[in-house]
Structure 1
Amino acid sequence: METKKFKTYSLTEMKDKYIGEIGTTNRDEYEYELRMDVLGKMIKSARQERHLTQEELGKLIGVQKAQISKLESSANSATIDTILKVFKALKAEINFNVKLEDNFVKLI
Structure 2
Amino acid sequence: MGTKALKKFTLAEMKDKYIGTVGTKARDEYEYELRMDVLGKMIKAARQERKLTQEELGRLVGVQKAQISKLESSANSATIDTIIRVFKALKADIHFSVKLEDNFVELT
TM-score interval w.r.t. the shorter chain? Answer: over 0.9
How far residue 40 of structure 1 moved from its aligned partner, in angstroms, is: 0.0
Corresponding residue for residue 79 of structure 1? 79
Corresponding residue for residue 18 of structure 2? 18
1:47 aligned to 2:47?
Answer: yes
Distance 1:59 1:48 in 2: 15
How far residue 3 of structure 1 moved from its aligned partner, in angstroms, is: 1.5
Corresponding residue for residue 91 of structure 1? 91
TM-score scaled by structure 2? 0.98
SS of 1:31's partner is helix
Distance 1:95 1:105 in 2: 10
Distance 2:75 2:82 in 1: 10
The letter of the residue matching 2:49 is E
The letter of the residue matching 2:85 is K
Q: Size of the alignment, in residue pairs?
A: 108
Distance 1:59 1:21 in 2: 42
How far residue 10 of structure 1 moved from its aligned partner, in angstroms, is: 0.4
Corresponding residue for residue 69 of structure 2? 69
How far residue 4 of structure 1 moved from its aligned partner, in angstroms, is: 1.8
TM-score scaled by structure 1? 0.98
Aligned-CA RMSD value = 0.6
Structure 1 stretches lacking a partner, 5+ long = none
Distance 2:85 2:46 in 1: 13
Corresponding residue for residue 9 of structure 1? 9
Give aligned-pair identity as a percent.
80
SS of 2:52's partner is coil
